[in-house]
Amino acid sequence: MERLERLAPQADYNWWLHQAPHARAAAPPTWRWHLEIMPRLTHLAGFELGTGCHITTLAATEAARRLQA
């Protein structure tokens, strides 16, 4: 969170806690809970609102480089 705060001061965040699949579906033996954090840097547009898929214009390699700083 400190690294994200340095990159986007005062940003709001969306948080998702991913849990195991439904009880009727078998979870893979390597499955574990995980938290996904996404800073809200722009307003959501039609694609994001309609599909639930979020678009980023920052390359993954550049995001990783910035987070490692």
Confidence of residue 61 (pLDDT cuts 50, 70, 90): very high
**Which pLDDT tens digit goes with each residue over 6-57?**
888 888 888 888 877 766 667 677 777 888 888 887 777 788 878 888 887 8
According to DSSP, the β-strands at 34-40 and 12-18 are antiparallel
The answer to whether residues 50 and 36 touch, using CB atoms and an 8 Å cutoff, is no
Residue 4 has pLDDT above 70, yes or no: yes
- What is the Cα–Cα distance from 64 to 68, expressed in whole angstroms? 6
Tell me, what DSSP letter sits at residue 44?
-
- How much is the pLDDT for 23? 64
Q: What is the pTM of this model?
A: 0.50
CATH number, domain 2-68, options 3.10.105.10, 3.20.20.450, 3.30.428.10, 3.40.50.1220 = 3.30.428.10
